[in-house]
Structure 1
Amino acid sequence: MYLERLHIEKIRNLETVVMKNLQPFTVLYGVNGSGKTSVLEAIHILATGRSFRTHMPKHYIQHHAPHAIIFAQTHADKVGVQKFSSGEQLIKINGDRVATQGQLAQLLPLQHIDPLTTDIIDHGSKPRRELLDWLMFHVEPSFYQVWLHYTRTLKQRNSMFKHYKKPSLEDLQPWNNLLAEYGEQLHLQRVAVFMQWQVFFEQEVKKLLPDLVLHLDYTAGFQTEIGLALLLEQQHHKDCERRYTEHGPHRADLKIKTEHGDATDMLSRGQKKLLMVALKLSQIAMLHASNKETVVLLDDITAELDCAAQQRLLTRLHTLGSQVFLTTLDDAIVKQHLHDLCISYQMFNVHAGVVQMQPSTPPEHE
């Protein structure tokens, strides 16, 4: 689903932005604080319902504005979201109101690649689990409903520990049964998708980190040989003491291993950045193999990656058929890359929240 037109209102310093006739690659350039990343943020809000900068809509909606609007048009669909500072939202697809963000997310698979951050690798299991579940959402049709059932049941079980000091095993049994049922389903779905993902991951690592041998491991979050139902019974007293559910797919994780230990400990900062890119690219490649197009937000490409890595990344995204929105301080070098790679692109200058299309002229060779 390529975006052909984008309309943004009242997002940070972006008053009104209209971008038309969008190409496979859109380059946003300007000084720091001009609003480049805010354009990416708006696309992210449209596709996922949330910002990658803050969890609070009032922090990205312009001060004193009652709401923000992001609207996009593709060849086949018109999609839009209206965000209110209260946290409420209105979502429409082709003029019809839809109930959940998931319906919009299905239409617009989106990956955010930020070479400045290695959070997925360094900051606990949650971002890695979310990375896997993003892939699950787009390749396993029944995943989202199973995940919803599991999450709601987990919330109900945990609330029992908060309302009752030591709920009995009998009191918890209905929640244990449901949690085990949905949890086992969730685990089996994750295993099946993970096995496919491993193949794509190893291919991308060979391209970006050819001198390293890396392996991706999945841990379930519970002892699968025992089974979740029996484990919940065995851990009953400990869960009562902790007052929350310790074991289950909500504690699943991905481990990235080198020949000498965990990637977190063994890789340099530069290697971690390329590894993070490889993780995202492998997911895009897996969707591409299923004939699903991905929109990619690529923030500050020239800040952290060297020239060779920049070209490899742009070449790979072009090969995978992704539509790319990228920001940079150095428009000349990005323009040169895209010209050398024969990639169609469109340049937009961003200054003080104003986004203006620039004429497409060939770069000047030294």
Structure 2
Amino acid sequence: MSISRLHIERVRNIQTAALHQLQPFNVFYGQNGSGKTSLLEAIHILATGRSFRTHIPKNYIQTQQADALIFAQAHQEKMGIQKFATGEQLIKVNGDSIATQGQLARLLPLQLIDPQSTDLIDNGAKPRRQLLDWLMFHVEPDFYHAWQYYARALKQRNTLLKTKRQPTLADLEPWNQMLAEYGELLHSQRLSVLQQWQTFFLHDLQMLLPEIAVQIDYRAGFHPELGLANELQHAHSKDVERRYTEYGPHRADLRFKTALGDADVVLSRGQKKLLVMALKLSQIAMLHASNKETVVLLDDLTAELDSTAQRRLIERLSQLGSQVFLTTLDHVAVQQHLNDLSISYQLFNVDKGQIHAVEPTIYN
């Protein structure tokens, strides 16, 4: 699903922006601090309910304003989200209020590629687990249901561990059973999806980083050969001491292995960025194979990527049918790539929160 019209109000320095007749590629250029990334942030809030820059809504809602509003039209669907400084939100699709962000996320699958993307390789397990679960959400119909039940049981078990003095196995048994049932289901779903993903990943890795072979190493968060139910029983004493649940799919991780060692140790920053792009492009490709198109937010394209990598990335996104919202300081280079590849695009200048469509230039 691609966005044809976008309306933003009171997001950082963007007081009001109304963008029409959006194209497969939409290029936003301007000086640092002009509001380019804030525009991408607004789209991210619409699709996911959260910013990629802060967890606190009042940090992106304009100063002394009560709310921010983002609205989009995509084919026959109209969707909007209103985020309040109090933390509350209102979501509507085609004029009807909906209860959960998940319903909106299914309509608008979204991937973000930004200068901080290498954090996915270098930092803790959470962003890597989120990367896998984004794919799970969009390709495995039963994943969200299983995850909701698992998360509910995990929350109840952790509450008991924190509030009840020396809880016994009998105290925890109902939650152990529920965790084991849905945890094993999540694990099997992840294994199945990961096996499919590996094929797409190796294809995009070869295109972006052909000189290095990388394998995805999935770690379940528990010992599958032992089984989660047994793991929870064996770890009972330690969980009581720690006061939280150590083992389960909520502790899963992905590690990236090369012939010379772990990717976070042996790859350069530039290589890590290309690896992250291959991971995300391969997810987009997997959705594309299921007739699901992805909106891609590409922040600061020309930073840290040479001209060849820029062109490969743009060409691949076009092949996958993605709608791209792209920011850059060097719009001339980006237009050259798009013109050479015969890709339809719209150019926008961003200045102090004001966004204006600009007539594209044809470069020879």
Give your verdict on TM over 0.5. Answer: yes
Aligned counterparts, 1:258-337, within 5 A: 258-337=258-337
1:329-357 deviation line (CA, Å, top 9, x unaligned):
01111111100110000000000000000
Which residue does the alignment assign to 1:221? 221
Distance 1:107 1:347 in 2: 25
**TM-score normalised to the size of structure 2?**
0.99
Checking the alignment, whether the CA contact within 8 Å between 2:82 and 2:90 is kept in structure 1 is: yes
Which residue does the alignment assign to 2:137? 137
Gapped runs of 5+ residues in structure 1? none
Checking the alignment, whether the CA contact within 8 Å between 2:335 and 2:361 is kept in structure 1 is: no
Distance 1:116 1:309 in 2: 17
**TM-score normalised to the size of structure 1?**
0.99
Which residue does the alignment assign to 2:63? 63
Q: Helix, strand or coil for the counterpart of 2:69?
A: strand
**Quick check: 1:2 aligned with 2:19?**
no
Q: Which shifted more, 20-29 or 260-269? A: 260-269
1:117-156 deviation line (CA, Å, top 9, x unaligned):
3111000111000000000000011101110111111011
**Quick check: 1:52 aligned with 2:64?**
no
Gapped runs of 5+ residues in structure 2? none
Which residue does the alignment assign to 1:240? 240
Which residue does the alignment assign to 2:343? 343
1:163-194 deviation line (CA, Å, top 9, x unaligned):
11210011110110011011011111111101
Which residue does the alignment assign to 1:212? 212
Distance 2:349 2:231 in 1: 57
Aligned counterparts, 1:116-195, within 5 A: 116-195=116-195
Structure 1 residue 360 displacement after superposition: 2.5
Checking the alignment, whether the CA contact within 8 Å between 2:301 and 2:326 is kept in structure 1 is: yes
Checking the alignment, whether the CA contact within 8 Å between 1:287 and 1:294 is kept in structure 2 is: yes
Distance 1:131 1:199 in 2: 16
2:354 is matched by which residue type in structure 1?
A: V
Checking the alignment, whether the CA contact within 8 Å between 1:8 and 1:42 is kept in structure 2 is: yes
The sequence identity of aligned pairs, in percent, is 65
Checking the alignment, whether the CA contact within 8 Å between 2:108 and 2:295 is kept in structure 1 is: yes
Distance 1:213 1:10 in 2: 45
Which residue does the alignment assign to 1:37? 37
Which residue does the alignment assign to 2:88? 88
Structure 1 residue 116 displacement after superposition: 4.4
1:149 is matched by which residue type in structure 2?
A: Y
Checking the alignment, whether the CA contact within 8 Å between 1:115 and 1:277 is kept in structure 2 is: no
Distance 1:92 1:116 in 2: 31
Structure 1 residue 361 displacement after superposition: 2.9
1:135 is matched by which residue type in structure 2?
A: L
Which residue does the alignment assign to 1:97? 97
Which residue does the alignment assign to 1:109? 109
**Quick check: 1:252 aligned with 2:252?**
yes
Q: Could you list the runs of 4 or more consecutive aligned residues of structure 1 that deviate by over 3 angstroms after TM superposition?
A: none
Structure 1 residue 115 displacement after superposition: 3.7
For the aligned residue pairs, the C-alpha RMSD in angstroms reads 0.7
Distance 2:37 2:361 in 1: 24
Distance 2:116 2:44 in 1: 17
Q: Helix, strand or coil for the counterpart of 1:302?
A: coil
1:324 is matched by which residue type in structure 2?
A: V
1:22-67 deviation line (CA, Å, top 9, x unaligned):
0000000000000000000000000000000000000000011111
